[in-house]
């Protein structure tokens, strides 16, 4: 098996920060930590070449530099590429990650990078590439190299990897179903007992972190704005003519409000399986407040109301898909010079 | 949905019965509505009063849209 | 409370006469069943179908599934409040037809929308869906019903539930005079003697008609959280009537819940079971969700719980009720370990949880419910030619998310499904 190793200028033995802008270069065989890595690979794999670049340069000009690095790597005709270990070094980690991503995309060769789990490059790239977790500093070099050797050989053989916790890589953002011996309840009891005894325990579902969005600046004067109504509550014209699904909606829809001052009972129904629709059917303004916005438009407190409303169904929505719907609706709103949105959510 | 609309630059007032959830998820301008099955309604009130309440709800949304916020903020109806 | 549950396993069922249970073989007399069911004019007709594990059978429009229980000669009945007066059950002797269920299959007579609309939960007796499907690992009799003179869907639902319970009672009573395969003893008394006291928080769906649970014969929409002895559930105090796809908990799970079995097995050894707190979910607004969550934490405190095992039924905004409950418990100083089902989309790359609290640090997973399954064509379909909520033909191959299988989340808990990071 042919392996190419990517390093920064420091681990390649060129020098320190003063050489951070060093352009890409390569050398046959193993260099620096690659020598120890080669020993761990034994006769199962050969580091046929080492490619290196300055951390600063690849950080500042990746668009120029990464293609050159890929070309140098390609010249060695590897079966698998390994990069790092970068430990906690952010620029080096980013460099390793970008190289691995490019190798995968352009050369269609397996690649892995090694760095500490909280390296800035991890959150940005873990979905695209395989990352082997290491300690924060080079103190953990032997363990890092052993892990790199193990996974490089498997990836080079074309093996698909098993669960992250078992095969030793940073989770790449996919969760797949498998089977345990005990029921989830029994496993929960075991976790509880470990907690009550003060023993270490491992939750099976790590909690997500929600990202923040910078609030858009406020509307300067509502009396001059064009307002659009959007709802996730699944309110559709009676008969649901466009078949909005009431779970896992695959679409969003736009319905006209031209000449409509008040949503009338009987004209609308609810395509949402998660709540009692009776109140909304009786007066659909309880889901999309058309009567109220019309009144405020007449009184001059709202400049103008868009003559249509947008609807999807937020019941069991696939989150990625709902975000796509929102982006498409936003594009539509922009085309119609809408200034602000009143969103009624479930 | 609110965050994607905000990401696209639209000040968005999110009317919901689950204001705490909207805040946690990160919607920036949240207006507390009534119950889950009628966030913009109060079926217990006589028609005219319910309509007046709904107008106040939308006024609260206007206030939210016109207010500078630093992060997720809940706007309550003024009684 | 001291309860003995005598297990009479069913390996084979057939239609015939006389009705009998004999060493794992159950003979069901269709005439008796018809008489029991049609005693109620709200049901016009019943046809019986049987299915065994591994058969190429798909079942649609299944409502609840009940494992038959009977308390011979007792002052209190199994399924109290339905088969007898609403007196405290969970003591004495109960006969159980183990590994067998009675299932109602029917359309509702009147149109319904929103949360009251039936959502299909397909039973797959074989193939790749069977591992995730309720009823697939047991012998089942399906009561395929035709509505009669019911005045509303709620009225018909009441008839259908009572009919199935009458049939279940009759079948379980066939074991009287026979020797059980084994007898389990359930007794959660005794001194806790320094063992950790653990409550089981059992959040169930009770939003209204068609998404309901019954406790001692009465629906629990308006119920504040309450405390039961685990034995009461074993005797059928809690009956499921939630007709939403894979996230429903059928009665046969309420009467043999993996949480109850896991805790009970450890009672008197590693821990002390300090009761079951039953609460409803899907409260209509945050005020009511918060009120219920804190009530659960208060009851757990009154039960002097050191820890809580928490499970919940269904999806949608009930995740919020559940997480607020976990938060209230943790903040009351009662560590909570919870069983959660995950989302994640068809590929598993969407966020797994719809709602969570920072305190939810001890979670067991039952796996991702929106991964998709390719189900093959089947030899026999019970309950209609097309799926109820989407209209696809039912005989042929189907592409479904796991959550459209009957009682999928409860089944995934029982069978040990979980999701892991890749």
Closest chain A CA to residue C363: A203
Please state the pTM of the whole predicted model: 0.82
Q: C363–A203: do the CB atoms touch at under 8 Å?
A: yes
Closest chain C CA to residue B38: C284
Measure the N-to-C terminal CA separation of chain B; round to a whole number of Å. Answer: 28
Measured CA to CA, the distance from residue C348 to residue C342 in angstroms comes to: 9
C351 touches chain B (CB under 8 A): no
Measured CA to CA, the distance from residue B69 to residue C56 in angstroms comes to: 60
Burial of residue A206, with CB atoms counted within 10 A of its CB: 0-12 exposed, 13-18 middle, 19 or more buried: middle
Does residue C275 surpass a pLDDT of 70? yes
Closest chain A CA to residue B54: A292
Lowest mean pLDDT among A77-81, A204-208, C163-167, C220-224: A204-208
| 3-state secondary structure labels for all residues of chain A | CEEEEEEECCCCCCCCHHHCCCCCEEEECCCCHHHHHHHHHHHHCEEEEEEEECHHHHHHCHHHHHHHHHHHHHCCCCCEEEECCCCCCHHHHHHHHHHHHHHHHHHCCEEEEEECCCCHHHHHHCCCCEEEECCCCHHHHHHHHHHHHHHHHHHHCCCCCCCHHHHCCCCCCCEEEEECCCCHHHHHHHHHHHHHCCCCCCCCCCCCCCCCCCCCCCCCCHHHCEEEEEECECEEECCCCCCCCCCCCCCCEEEECCCCCCCCCCCEEECCCCCCCHHHHHCHHHCCCHHHHHHHHHCCCCCEEEEEEEECECCCCCHHHHHHHHHHHHHHHHHCCCCEEEEECC
Residue A273 is predicted with a pLDDT of 67
Structure-derived torsion over alpha carbons of residues C205, C211, C215, C221, reported in degrees to the nearest 10? 80
Chain B residue numbers with beta carbons less than 8 Å from the beta carbon of C317 are 18, 36
A325 touches chain C (CB under 8 A): no
Instruction: Taking each helix axis as running N to C, give the angle between helix A141-156 and helix A33-41, from 0 to 180 degrees, rounded to the nearest 10.
Output: 50
Residue A248 is predicted with a pLDDT of 66
Q: A286–B43: do the CB atoms touch at under 8 Å?
A: yes
Closest chain B CA to residue A275: B37
C325 compared with A271, residue with greater pLDDT: C325
ipTM above 0.95, yes or no: yes
Q: Residue C303 — pLDDT band, cuts 50, 70, 90?
A: very high
The tens digit of pLDDT for each residue in B16-39 reads 988 877 887 889 999 999 988 899
Contacting residues for A273 by C-beta, under 8 A, at least 6 apart = A246, A247, A315, C114, C115, C117, C119, C244
Measured CA to CA, the distance from residue C252 to residue B24 in angstroms comes to: 37
Residue A319 is predicted with a pLDDT of 62
Q: What percentage of residues in chain C have a pLDDT greater than 90? A: 88
Contacting residues for C35 by C-beta, under 8 A, at least 6 apart = none
Does residue C181 surpass a pLDDT of 80? yes
And the tokens for C5?
A: 């549950």
Q: B36–C284: do the CB atoms touch at under 8 Å?
A: yes
Return the H-helix or E-strand segment holding B75. Answer: strand B73-75
Chain C residue numbers with beta carbons less than 8 Å from the beta carbon of B35 are 284-285
CA distances to A246, A247, C377 from C109, in Å? 21, 23, 29
The tens digit of pLDDT for each residue in B46-79 reads 999 999 999 999 999 999 999 999 999 999 988 6
**What is the rounded average pLDDT of the residues C87-101?**
98
A238 touches chain C (CB under 8 A): no
| 3-state secondary structure labels for all residues of C380-419 | EEECCCECCCCCCECCCCEEEEHHHECCHHHHHHHHCEEE
Which chains have 3+ CB pairs within 8 A of A?
A: B, C
* Min Cα–Cα distance to chain C from A343, Å: 18
* Min Cα–Cα distance to chain A from C350, Å: 6
Closest chain C CA to residue A198: C335
Chain B residue numbers with beta carbons less than 8 Å from the beta carbon of A230 are 1, 5
Q: Assign C68 to helix, strand or coil.
A: coil
Mean pLDDT of chain C: 95
CA distances to A165, C8, C198, C355, C416 from C413, in Å? 21, 24, 19, 19, 5
In whole angstroms, what separates CA C247 from the centre of its chain? 10
Which chains have 3+ CB pairs within 8 A of C?
A: A, B
Measured CA to CA, the distance from residue A39 to residue A277 in angstroms comes to: 68
Residues of chain A with pLDDT under 50: none
Contacting residues for A195 by C-beta, under 8 A, at least 6 apart = A201, C307, C335, C337, C362
Does residue C209 surpass a pLDDT of 70? yes
Measured CA to CA, the distance from residue C259 to residue C265 in angstroms comes to: 10
Q: B14–A296: do the CB atoms touch at under 8 Å?
A: no
Q: In terms of Cα–Cα distance, which of C249, B25, C359, C120 is closest to A232?
A: B25
String of DSSP letters for B5-62: HHHTT--EEEEES-HHHHHHHT-SEEEE-S-TT-TT--TTS-HHHHHHHHHHHHHHHH
Residue B25 is predicted with a pLDDT of 80
Q: In terms of Cα–Cα distance, which of A34, A28, A47, A29 is closest to A7?
A: A34
Measured CA to CA, the distance from residue A136 to residue C170 in angstroms comes to: 68
And the tokens for C49?
A: 């179908």
Residue A272 is predicted with a pLDDT of 73
Residue C368 is predicted with a pLDDT of 96
Residue C390 is predicted with a pLDDT of 78
The tens digit of pLDDT for each residue in C341-372 reads 999 999 999 889 988 888 899 999 999 999 99
Q: B15–A329: do the CB atoms touch at under 8 Å?
A: no
String of DSSP letters for C314-382: --TTHHHHHHHHHHHHHHTT--EEEEEEE--TTTT-S-S-S---TT---EEEEEETT-EEEEPP-SEEE
Residue A19 is predicted with a pLDDT of 87
CB atoms within 10 A of CB C395: 14
CB atoms within 10 A of CB A126: 20
* Min Cα–Cα distance to chain B from C235, Å: 35
In whole angstroms, what separates CA C322 from the centre of its chain? 18
- Which residues, listed in sequence order, are joined to residue C280 by a DSSP beta bridge? C204
Residue A320 is predicted with a pLDDT of 67
Contacting residues for C287 by C-beta, under 8 A, at least 6 apart = none
Question: Are A284 and A233 within 8 A, CB to CB?
Answer: no
HSE-up (13 A, CA, CB side) for residue C177: 5
């Amino acid at each position: 098996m042919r392996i190419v190793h990517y390093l920064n200028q420091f681990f390649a033995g060129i020098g320190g920060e003063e050489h951070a802008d060093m352009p890409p270069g390569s050398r046959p065989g193993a260099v620096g930590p690659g020598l120890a890595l080669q020993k761990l690979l034994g006769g199962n794999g050969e580091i046929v070449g080492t490619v290196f670049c300055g951390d600063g340069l690849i950080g500042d000009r990746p668009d120029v530099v990464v293609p050159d690095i890929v070309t140098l790597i390609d010249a060695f005709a590897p079966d698998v590429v390994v990069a790092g270990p970068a430990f906690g070094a952010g620029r080096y980690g980013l460099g390793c990650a970008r190289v691995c991503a490019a190798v995968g995309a352009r050369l269609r060769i397996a690649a892995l990078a090694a760095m500490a789990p909280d390296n800035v490059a991890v959150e940005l790239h873990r979905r695209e590439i395989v990352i082997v977790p290491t300690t924060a500093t080079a103190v953990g070099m032997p363990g890092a190299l052993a892990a790199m050797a193990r996974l490089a050989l498997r990836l080079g053989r074309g093996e698909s990897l098993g669960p992250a916790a078992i095969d030793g890589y940073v989770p790449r953002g996919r969760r797949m179903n498998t089977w345990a011996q005990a029921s989830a309840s029994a496993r929960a009891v075991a976790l509880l007992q470990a907690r009550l005894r003060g023993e270490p325990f491992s939750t099976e579902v790590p909690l997500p972190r929600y990202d923040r969005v910078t609030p858009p600046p406020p509307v300067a004067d509502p009396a001059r704005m064009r307002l659009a109504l959007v709802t996730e509550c699944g309110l559709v014209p009676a008969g649901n003519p466009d078949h909005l699904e009431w779970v896992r909606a695959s679409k969003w829809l736009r319905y006209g409000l031209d000449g409509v001052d008040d949503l009338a009972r009987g004209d609308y129904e609810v395509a949402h399986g998660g709540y009692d629709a009776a109140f909304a059917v009786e007066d659909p303004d309880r889901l999309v407040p058309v009567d109220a916005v019309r009144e405020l438009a007449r009184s001059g407190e709202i400049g103008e109301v868009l003559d249509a409303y947008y609807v999807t169904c937020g019941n069991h929505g696939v989150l990625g898909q709902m975000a796509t719907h929102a982006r498409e609706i936003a594009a539509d709103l922009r085309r119609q010079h809408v200034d602000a949105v009143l969103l009624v959510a479930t | 949905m609110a965050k994607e609309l905000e990401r696209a630059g639209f000040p968005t007032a999110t009317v919901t019965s689950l204001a705490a959830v909207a805040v946690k998820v990160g919607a920036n301008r949240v207006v507390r509505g009534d119950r889950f099955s009628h966030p913009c309604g109060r079926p217990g009130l006589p028609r005219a009063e319910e309509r007046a309440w709904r107008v106040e709800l939308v006024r609260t949304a206007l206030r939210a849209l016109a207010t500078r916020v630093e992060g997720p903020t809940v706007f309550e109806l003024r009684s | 409370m001291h309860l003995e549950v005598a297990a009479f396993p069913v390996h084979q069922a057939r239609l015939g006469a006389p009705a009998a249970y004999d060493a794992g073989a159950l003979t069901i007399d269709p005439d008796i069943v018809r008489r029991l069911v049609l005693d109620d004019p709200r049901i016009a007709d019943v046809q019986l179908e049987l299915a065994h594990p591994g058969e190429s059978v798909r079942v649609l429009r299944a409502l609840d599934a009940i494992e038959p229980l009977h308390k011979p000669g007792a002052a209190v009945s199994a399924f109290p409040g339905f088969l007898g007066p609403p007196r405290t059950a969970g003591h004495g002797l109960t006969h159980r037809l183990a590994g067998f269920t009675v299932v109602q299959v029917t359309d509702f007579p009147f149109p319904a929308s929103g949360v009251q609309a039936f959502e299909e939960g397909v039973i797959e007796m074989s193939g790749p869906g069977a591992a995730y499907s309720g009823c697939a690992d047991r012998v089942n009799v399906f009561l395929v019903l035709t509505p009669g003179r019911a005045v509303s869907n709620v009225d018909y639902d009441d008839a259908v539930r009572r009919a199935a319970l009458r049939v279940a009672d009759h079948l379980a009573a066939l074991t009287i005079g026979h020797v059980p395969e084994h007898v389990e003893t359930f007794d959660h008394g005794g001194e806790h003697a320094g063992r950790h006291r653990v409550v089981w928080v059992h959040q169930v769906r009770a939003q209204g008609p068609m998404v309901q649970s019954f406790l001692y014969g009465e629906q629990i929409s308006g119920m504040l959280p309450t405390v039961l002895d685990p034995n009461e559930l074993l005797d059928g105090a809690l009956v499921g009537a939630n007709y939403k796809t894979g996230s429903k908990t059928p009665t046969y799970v309420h009467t043999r819940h993996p949480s109850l079995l896991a805790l009970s097995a450890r009672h008197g050894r590693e821990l002390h079971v300090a009761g079951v707190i039953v609460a409803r979910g899907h409260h209509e607004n945050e005020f009511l969700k918060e009120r219920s969550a804190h009530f659960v934490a208060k009851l757990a405190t009154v039960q002097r719980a050191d820890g809580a095992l928490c499970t919940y039924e269904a999806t949608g905004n009930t995740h919020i009720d559940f997480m607020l409950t976990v938060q209230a418990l943790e903040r009351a100083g009662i560590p909570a370990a919870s069983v959660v089902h995950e989302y994640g989309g068809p590929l598993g790359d969407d966020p797994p949880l719809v709602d969570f609290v920072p305190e939810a640090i001890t979670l067991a997973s039952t796996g991702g419910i929106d991964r998709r399954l390719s189900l093959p064509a089947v030899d026999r379909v019970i309950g209609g030619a097309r799926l109820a909520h989407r209209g696809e033909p039912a005989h042929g191959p189907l592409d479904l998310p796991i959550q459209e299988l009957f009682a999928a989340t409860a089944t995934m808990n029982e069978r040990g499904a979980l999701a892991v990071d890749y």
